[in-house]
Structure 1
């Protein structure tokens, strides 16, 4: 099976909801159970791309129907880089050995991935380093243990023409898997909202009204998704060619309030 890699870079906060929650967040985003990294399910990607493509004659062949399998399988989007507040340069792009290993494996990049990164240490680009020794992310001070791999910085900034990503070669930082898992779980945005009671016009106490909070993945988060080509047809070729051009596509919920706008492009 041939495979294509779709890069997804959030321009605005992204909410792909996990449904109700018993925790402090009323509307959390969906995550991998074992890493706690946010993901975009393949079903969501498939639905969004089907709507974006808009070629009715090719839709059945590419996406399938209830009694007919499509020609492409859509994998879920995995995290590559997560933006974190930085005491220098405003924010840093955080990656970990696991996110780079996954990306290199699925995209067939022949790049070495540094391993054995200890907690609270990092490999950092110069743009986020203070006094050549430290990097402050959120409220934590990390010790610089070396330089961020130049070949990875060039690879990641070259994925898209998006000005923010392509101009951020000096913002990358490699931290441990456990540190990135912590930040991915606790450094997402939490927004407060109020449901208004339709009858009273106020934030009443009736069911379905009142205060609630919503979690979103921050803008400037980089994901990738694998697209498996099950059958090569003219429709599939046209669809892949369509995705090869950089596009602005909305993923997840709350699109009418500005959430989920992403830069997308087939990169390999």
Structure 2
């Protein structure tokens, strides 16, 4: 990689992408369980340490979408190492690979429940604070010994305020990058988020995409305004419901 390619590119503006992420089935993204008193949930979900409300870490979203895209674009029967990701993935999600670091154009945020969803969940008779407990029983197929466990989930129907920021480094690249992101979000909706997905956990959907653009250059603002309908159509095209 040349010295020029190692430098950080200029910033034309910031594109904020907001949407609603809805849980179609219960979601479990594991939290800390170093101490579990008798009768406690064996596997709690991750919570905001201040509000104790469930959150979806931005790292979980970013990692899942990137992996789905890498698997889908791989030229081999096996998933390649992160250093061998396609250049379009490296540019969008970043890399600290051996051949030089590339800063991510996407900046995912930890996402939290919408105020409306939080109010509905608080009014429900749930097993834990804004959580349900799923009782599961693994059976050893050789000994037939049962191994019961309790898994805490965010209930189906909960809605989160999805948000990701995109660094606009070249106006001519935005549409292609948004298409790749939309493809990744569509793959996610056909897969699962969090743990235990093969048992039906973690099915999600997206809706109500909104874009907002900020730049210190009026020329870029006007240029973005002309492409905004196209970009919104690309992202809305990922919605399966």
- TM bracket, shorter-chain basis: 0.5 to 0.7
1:1-80 → structure 2 map (5 Å cutoff): 1-23=14-36, 24-53=40-69, 54-55=72-73, 56-66=86-96, 67-80=101-114
TM-score of the pair, normalised by structure 1: 0.55
What is the Cα deviation at residue 46 of structure 1? Answer: 0.3
Displacement of 1:193 in angstroms is 1.8
- Identify the match of residue 226 of structure 1 among 130, 138, 163: 163
CA distance in 1, matches of 2:208, 2:65: 12
1:215 aligns with 2:117: no
- Evaluate the alpha carbon distance shift between residue 241 and residue 196 of structure 1 in structure 2; reply closer, same or farther with a 3 A threshold: closer
In 1, distance between residues paired with 2:133 and 2:201? 13
TM-score (norm 2): 0.60
Structure number with higher strand proportion: 1
* Contact 2:18–2:161 (Cα < 8 Å) also in 1: yes
| Secondary structure at 2:60 match in 1 | helix
Would you tell me which structure has more helix in proportion to its own residues?
Answer: 2
2:120 partner SS: strand
Q: Which residue of 1 aligns with 2:131?
A: 188
Q: Answer whether contact 1:6 1:264 (CA < 8 A) is retained.
A: yes
Q: Which residue of 1 aligns with 2:4?
A: none
Query: Aligned residue for 1:94?
Result: 120
How far apart, in 1, do the equivalents of 2:144 and 2:106 lie?
Answer: 47
Name the residue aligned to 2:234. Answer: none
Which residue of structure 1 aligns with residue 204 of structure 2?
262
Gaps of 5+ in 1: 85-92, 97-136, 140-182, 204-209
Instruction: Give the distance between the partners of 1:138 and 1:266, measured in 2 at CA.
Output: 25
Aligned-residue Cα RMSD (Å) equals 3.1
What is the Cα deviation at residue 222 of structure 1? Answer: 0.4
CA contact (8 A) 2:65 2:184 kept: no
Give the deviation of 1:254 after TM superposition.
0.7
Aligned residue in 1 for 2:223? none
Partner Cα distance (1:244, 1:27) in 2: 27
The secondary structure found in structure 2 opposite 1:252 is coil
CA distance in 2 between partners of 1:266 and 1:82 (Å): 15
- In structure 1, distance between residues paired with 2:127 and 2:167: 33
1:160 aligned residue: none
- Give the gaps of 5 or more residues in structure 2: 1-13, 74-85, 211-241
Per-residue deviation at 1:242?
A: 4.3
